[in-house]
Amino acid sequence: MEITVSEQKAFEVRPALTAEQARERAWDQKMAAFGTFSRLLHRPKGDEIKVASAQKRFDPVWHVIAHKRLVFHRSREYRVPVADAAVRRITIEGTDYPISAALPPYFNVRGMEHCEEDLRTETLVDGVKGVELQAPALARAARDEILELSGFAPADAVVVPPQVRASTIVQRVVQKLMTTYEADQIEEEGIEIEQLNLLYRPVYVFQYVWEAKGKQAVVELDAVGGEARTGDSNFQQQIRQLGQIFKPDTLFDLGAETLGSLVPGGTIVLKLGGKVARVIGDHQRRQQKES
């Protein structure tokens, strides 16, 4: 099997909402952030809830598009029904085929099946939790390439480093596309990872306080799709615990040994895009200089 991984890239996704638009939408969701009990029994007045802090955050999301191409041939026996019970033998291109005594009568003919299989998949994966996301707007959103990934640190935002590496994403996609089949001869078998991109999705985070009850709540608003959800009031501490920004040569940890376990007893030819090869090469050169 040949697995081709295109050049990996990183992008900053452009927000579809401004900070002010996000603030207005999040304000409409603030009551939900305090829970059902607070809304029903202790409904606060509008001026009792205030914005304690507002923050822009970039969350990592893997975007992968892959295609599997399989061409193979196999011998298969076909049962052909015969309409007339009086037929005892059929000759096709010089070969005689006896008719079975069963009712209804039939004869068997062997042929060669020439098969082609094309499968395509597109997946978005949360770069921290590793779960698949349903975010079509994000997959099609405008974006700007991040040329120096290790230096991506906008002054007005918090950048969350990924915890899921490229090798994990590729393994999942390859496993999803690998199907069982019967073949006498394999003419072509390959999986192409057409896109393996790290997207940084902008998220606006608003922390609210209900001083009369001594409560805090957080609303996170996706700046691309516009969806709002209740966040964790300890989000700032959690982000700090994730650690510093990643190293690209660690994040894009692709290699033949990473994928070898996917085809037990088989051979994988891995072709990597130029960018990862350069990153790994630069890292190796730095190690050589340091030694």
Residue 65's beta-bridge partner residues?
122, 195
| Closest to 66 measured CA to CA, from 149, 140, 141, 177 | 177
Q: DSSP character for 288?
A: H
pLDDT at position 256: 56
Q: Residue 4's pLDDT is what?
A: 86
Contacts of 85 (CB under 8 A, 6+ apart): 103, 104, 105
Which range among 21-25, 86-90, 216-220, 287-291 has the greatest average pLDDT? 86-90
Q: Give the pLDDT score at 245.
A: 47
* Mean pLDDT on 64-90: 95
* C-alpha torsion 163→167→170→174, nearest 10: -130
Better-scored residue on pLDDT, 3 or 78: 78
Higher pLDDT, 153 or 127: 127
**Residues 152, 247 contacting (CB under 8 angstroms):** no
The encoded tokens of residue 210 equal 């209900």
Q: Which residues contact 82 (CB under 8 A, 6 or more apart)?
A: 90, 99, 104, 105, 106, 107
Phi, psi of 134 (to 5 degrees): -105, 90
Average pLDDT of the chain to the nearest whole number: 80
Q: How confident is the model at residue 19 (pLDDT cuts 50, 70, 90)?
A: confident
Confidence of residue 5 (pLDDT cuts 50, 70, 90): confident
The CB density around residue 275, as the number of other CB atoms within 10 Å, is 16
pLDDT at residue 287 tops 50? no
